[in-house]
């Protein structure tokens, strides 16, 4: 049994009788981050994305987002850029926040 499938069963993501590939456990949206950034360019981020964006700055501003300036009303593209920085500069908790930001941006597009 593949380790990811075992973990998915352990945390209850899939039923025991089901077998899934690891790609089935991820988001169904196949658009890349760059495609999402292009689509979100100039579009104001919805309130849930803005809330996660501000949470990222309040929790990880000095550690993972030290080279970014917080914007009062970010666009979807700017929120996705912050998610990228959280992934590369942050710890495991920051990465989970990055995933939440990306999912909220995907839902908005």
Domain boundaries, the chain: 1-29, 31-108
Digit-coded pLDDT (tens) for 24-77:
434 567 888 788 888 888 889 999 999 999 999 999 988 999 999 999 999 999
Which residues are registered as beta bridge partners of 44? 75
Which residues are registered as beta bridge partners of 75? 44
Contact 65, 44 (CB under 8 A): no
What is this structure's pTM?
A: 0.70
- The residues, any chain, with a CB within 8 Å of residue 27's CB and separated by 6 or more, are 103, 106
Integer Cα distance of 34 and 80 in angstroms: 9
């Amino acid at each position: 049994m593949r380790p990811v499938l075992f973990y998915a069963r352990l945390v209850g993501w899939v039923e025991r009788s089901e077998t899934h590939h690891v790609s089935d456990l991820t988001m169904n949206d196949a658009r890349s981050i760059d495609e999402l950034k292009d689509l979100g360019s100039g579009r104001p981020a919805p309130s849930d994305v803005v809330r996660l964006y501000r949470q990222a700055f309040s929790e990880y501003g000095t550690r993972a987002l030290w080279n970014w300036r917080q914007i009062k009303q970010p666009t979807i593209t700017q929120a996705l850029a912050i998610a990228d920085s959280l992934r590369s500069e942050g710890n495991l908790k920051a990465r989970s926040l990055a995933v939440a930001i990306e999912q909220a941006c995907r839902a908005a597009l």
